[in-house]
């Protein structure tokens, strides 16, 4: 099987040659004087992607889940109350993590396909006169359903309730691919990882932390060692790391930031919108339905698509893999068997997306879906021709 085929899973994403090359480095001494020169600018430049001036960037050798754990453990105490809405597998897993840390989790159950309910947050926060709720946790881009939530609206809701809770946002599958404005949205901790928008191998949890979250650290009683912000920030202050850093990933991150800035973040977001829109035109032409309830919720990094009644989405993704050597996202949790996902984030071009659409159409035809071969590709081609990409040759 050829490794030239891109993956269409919503992370880990395709690693461009330029980043594979950047990570292909021999061991270097992280206590040597030149480590500072490598690492400090990476932390500083990552702030631009979070769009924060006041925040601090903290990374750990971990996947995104480790980032969630770090956010919680550094700022909260056992028994603290947090408010979360559950509308997909990732919001669900964050809830589970909080519960295992003995936090009291107030859950708003929402249908899968909906987004963060700012109005319900506001109503609950308004009645919490004692300010028992210490943090509101929101998954910006619910990767299981392809739903993007409006973080600015959540911030407005919190402000309208004059509630001092911190706002923690999971932006693992949105950062560096969809607009994110940490300071403007008043986000206290934003959690991301290396293997999605940054187009790198998995292994670096990447957090943006506000001054308010850093202040909360002083009283936080949850135990932490590996994920202690204080150890990390203390070492980072002199350009170091409290233990062995994932050096190859840091080199990769340096190059990834270069690529993102060369393309321009605005263009990166526009490209993701365009690619997503091409996919959505294809879904429409197939006569299939997205899991996301309404257009304002459509994610630009992943589309979750219901298969027609009587079909099994796992058989479809298996067929695409077995017959054509291409991976698509399976349906997670409640969506298992009912929906498949097309990841369209990271290192992708119009041409690559067209190849993915063509492949899944072949798999659908093989399984006798009531879908006309070529219809989705034609709809995406039409969209891409009318919305030409600004070619950034170095970004591919």
Ligand X SMILES: *Cc1c(COP(=O)(O)O)cnc(C)c1O
Shortest reach from residue 198's CB to ligand X, in Å? 12
Nearer residue to ligand X within complex by CB, 172 or 214: 172
- Looking at 46-54, 63-71, 122-130, 379-387, which segment touches ligand X (CB under 6 A)? 63-71
- Binding residue count for ligand X, defined by CB under 6 A: 12
Shortest reach from residue 148's CB to ligand X, in Å? 11
Shortest reach from residue 14's CB to ligand X, in Å? 15
Shortest reach from residue 276's CB to ligand X, in Å? 15
252 in contact with ligand X (CB under 6 A) = no
Q: What is the 3-state secondary structure (H, E, C) of the chain?
A: CCCCCCCECCCCCCCCHHHHHHHCCCCCCCCCCHHHHHHHHHHHHHHHHHCCCCCEEEEEECCHHHHHHHHHHHHCCCCCEEEEEECCHHHHHHHHHHHHCCCEEEEEECCECECCCHHHHHHHHHHCCCCCEEEEEEECEECCCCEECCHHHHHHHHHHCCCCCEEEEECCCCCCCCCCCCCCCCCCEEEEECCCCCCCCCCEEEEEECHHHHHHCCCCCCCCCCCCHHHHHHHHHCCCCCCCCCHHHHHHHHHHHHHHHHHCHHHHHHHHHHHHHHHHHHHHHHCCEECCCCHHHECCCEEEEECCCCCCHHHHHHHHHHHHCCCEECCCHHHCCCEEEEECCCCCCHHHHHHHHHHHHHHHHHCCCCCCCCHHHHHHHHHHHHCCCCCCHHHC
170 in contact with ligand X (CB under 6 A) = yes
331 in contact with ligand X (CB under 6 A) = no
299 in contact with ligand X (CB under 6 A) = no
Of 5, 65, 327, 349, the one binding ligand X (CB under 6 A) is 65
376 in contact with ligand X (CB under 6 A) = no
Nearer residue to ligand X within complex by CB, 35 or 90: 90
Nearer residue to ligand X within complex by CB, 64 or 208: 64
- Looking at 169-177, 280-288, 330-338, 356-364, which segment touches ligand X (CB under 6 A)? 169-177
Mask for 97-136, x = binds ligand X (CB under 6 A): ----------------------------------------
Q: Contact residues for ligand X (CB under 6 A)?
A: 11, 63-65, 90, 139, 141, 143, 170, 172-173, 193
């Amino acid at each position: 099987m050829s490794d030239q085929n891109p993956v269409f899973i919503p992370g880990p994403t395709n690693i461009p040659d330029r980043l594979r090359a950047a990570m292909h480095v021999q061991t270097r001494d992280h206590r040597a004087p030149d480590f500072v020169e490598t690492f400090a600018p990476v932390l500083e430049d990552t702030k631009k992607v979070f769009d924060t001036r006041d925040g601090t960037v903290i990374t750990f050798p971990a996947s995104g889940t480790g980032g969630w754990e770090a956010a919680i453990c550094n700022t909260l105490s056992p028994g603290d109350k947090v408010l979360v809405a559950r509308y997909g597998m990732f919001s669900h897993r964050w809830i589970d993590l909080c519960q295992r840390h003995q936090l009291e989790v107030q859950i708003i159950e929402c249908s899968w396909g909906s987004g963060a309910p700012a109005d319900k947050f506001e109503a609950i926060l308004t009645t919490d006169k004692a300010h028992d709720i210490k943090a509101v946790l929101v998954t910006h881009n619910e990767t299981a359903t392809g739903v993007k939530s409006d973080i600015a609206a959540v911030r407005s809701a919190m402000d309208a309730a004059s509630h001092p809770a911190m706002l923690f946002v999971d932006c693992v599958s949105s950062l560096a691919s969809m607009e994110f404005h940490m300071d403007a949205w008043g986000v206290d901790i934003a959690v991301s990882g290396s293997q999605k928008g940054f187009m790198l191998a998995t292994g670096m949890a990447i957090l943006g932390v506000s001054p308010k979250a850093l202040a909360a650290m002083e009283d936080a009683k949850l135990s932490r060692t590996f994920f202690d912000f204080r150890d990390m920030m203390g070492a980072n202050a002199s350009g170091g790391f409290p233990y062995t850093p994932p050096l190859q990933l840091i080199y990769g991150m340096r190059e990834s930031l270069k690529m993102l800035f060369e393309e321009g973040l605005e263009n990166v977001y526009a490209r993701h919108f365009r690619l997503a829109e091409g996919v959505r035109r294809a879904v429409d032409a197939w006569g299939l339905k997205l899991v996301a309830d309404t257009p304002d919720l459509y994610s630009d990094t992943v589309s979750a698509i219901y298969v027609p009644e009587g079909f099994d989405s796992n058989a479809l993704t298996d067929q695409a893999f077995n017959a054509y050597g291409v991976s698509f996202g399976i349906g997670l949790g409640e969506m298992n068997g009912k929906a498949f996902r097309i990841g369209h984030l990271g290192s992708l071009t119009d041409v690559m997306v067209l190849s993915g659409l063509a492949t899944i159409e072949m798999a659908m035809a093989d399984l006798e879906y009531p879908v006309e071969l070529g219809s989705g590709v034609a709809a995406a081609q039409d969209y891409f021709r009318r919305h030409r990409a600004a070619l950034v040759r170095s970004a591919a």
